[in-house]
Amino acid sequence: MYQALTAAFVAFLFALSFYWSSFSRQRKVSLMGYTGKHNLSSVQSPLQPSSPTPKKDVEEGTPELLRTASQLVRFDYQSVKPIPYRPFLSQHHLSIGISKCTKEDWIQIDRQYLDRVTERKKNLETYPDTCHAINSNFGANAITELFEKIVDHLPARFPTMFALDAGKCVFQNRVTGVQYNLEECRNEPRQMLRLLAENVEEDFYLMCPDNEGVFVMQGFVSCFTNSFFAPGKLGLSMKDIHGPVPDLENKIGKGINHSMKSMRGGSMVQRMGAKLTKSPMQWSLQFCGPDLFRTGGNNFYPDPGQDVDDLSEPQDLDACYLRVERQSLVRLPDTKAIVFCVRHYITPLEEIKREGNGQHLADAVQSMPEKLGYYKRRPFWQRDVERFLRA
């Protein structure tokens, strides 16, 4: 049931391997994610200030994570629309999609913030062990390092939403009204993870190098999981986490581990991925409502010779959403852990059609490779979805 790391996550690793090998040869890598009909790299994030990164930091070669992000002094999260990522407009299902990430774009906040963190807190209370965990003491140092970086970053970037006292003992969320005793949090890694889970929309997966330099998952926050049962992956390497994902089986392994080790401490990269269905893949449709917590895997592997032409099932298209993942990856400078940060966006299928992208999405569904289509259960929903999008 819970077979593997989300394929979008796996594709990110493969893309990362290509990115770093290309970067070493000074080849240009383009971002294959799109916003509307524009290349994502040419669209400024609504959270990004008009002023560029301070030149001094760039000249001194300060790692991105160690910079102080530009401050949004009058930031009003309620006026910020979710970024309309539309990765399906790319012509490649397994595209590179890697670019550098600025600290300003690391944690993203929009008008859905309060609803989303409220949903995350509910998930934490209902499914505590599924939403956050640590693998014994192995991940404690990495969790502490990530915790301190985010606790410092949020008030510095979003002072209208977060506050940190001078002694760094009390952290306040001005939106939810909750205050946290940081000294109590620092004594318990799960409490540090819980603070992160309750205050940002991003999920975090911490991959820590073992004594042999192999990256192993040692902790996570997974409040908005999508067909990825994180507790079952604790203590596993990337090779062991990976499962039967079409077109990727032969692209994971030593090369990925080497690429992660090659990341400079404090460096940050990002990638777009999208989902349509409950099955994990680079993009699919999410059915049965907008809730973001989905642990059930439902991939489809037809038997040899099985007729897949009559598997269509009626779909409630009013409850169908495009689910998009924005993924960033950070190398912590002290513990050398790699942190995968995943933020989720969902858009009703009706809205995709209304904005004029219905035909594009239908084309992307139709052009999906056969094995990938089976994996994403396309035979069960393609008929109704394509008919709706093309009407």
Q: What is the pLDDT of residue 8?
A: 54
3-state secondary structure of 177: coil
Measured distance CA(221)–CA(150) in Å, rounded? 14
Q: Which pair of structure tokens corresponds to residue 168? A: 């760094």
Q: Which of 368, 337, 329 is nearest to 17 (CA)?
A: 329
| Plot region of 307 (φ>0 → left; ψ -120 to 50 → alpha; else → beta) | beta
Q: What is the pLDDT of residue 368?
A: 82
pLDDT digits (tens, 9 = 90+) for 227-257: 778 888 899 987 777 655 555 555 555 566 6
Measured distance CA(348)–CA(308) in Å, rounded? 27
The single-letter DSSP state of residue 55 is H
| Plot region of 332 (φ>0 → left; ψ -120 to 50 → alpha; else → beta) | beta
- Cα-Cα-Cα-Cα dihedral of 67, 68, 74, 80, to 10°? 30
pLDDT digits (tens, 9 = 90+) for 145-155: 999 999 999 99
CA distance readout (Å), 378 to 83, 90, 195, 264, 375:
27, 19, 38, 40, 8
Indicate the pTM of the whole model.
0.81
3-state secondary structure of 198: helix
**DSSP secondary structure string, 82-131?**
PP-B-GGGSS-TT---EEE--GGGTS---TTHHHHHHHHHHHHHHSHHHH
Measured distance CA(31)–CA(105) in Å, rounded? 15
Q: What is the pLDDT of residue 294?
A: 85
Q: What is the pLDDT of residue 263?
A: 87
| Residue 80: half-sphere exposure toward Cβ, Cα within 13 Å | 19
3-state secondary structure of 332: coil
Measured distance CA(131)–CA(150) in Å, rounded? 18
Helix (H) or strand (E) holding 220: strand 215-221
Cβ 123 vs Cβ 93: under 8 Å: no
Measured distance CA(357)–CA(379) in Å, rounded? 22
- 254 exposed, middle or buried (CB, 10 Å; 0-12, 13-18, 19+)? exposed
Q: What is the pLDDT of residue 22?
A: 47
Q: Which pair of structure tokens corresponds to residue 116? A: 């989303």
Divide the 391 residues of the chain into consecutive groups of 10 and give the mean pLDDT of each group: 46 52 41 34 39 45 93 97 83 55 95 97 96 89 97 98 96 98 97 98 95 92 86 86 56 63 89 42 74 73 64 86 89 95 93 94 87 80 93 91
Q: What is the pLDDT of residue 36?
A: 35
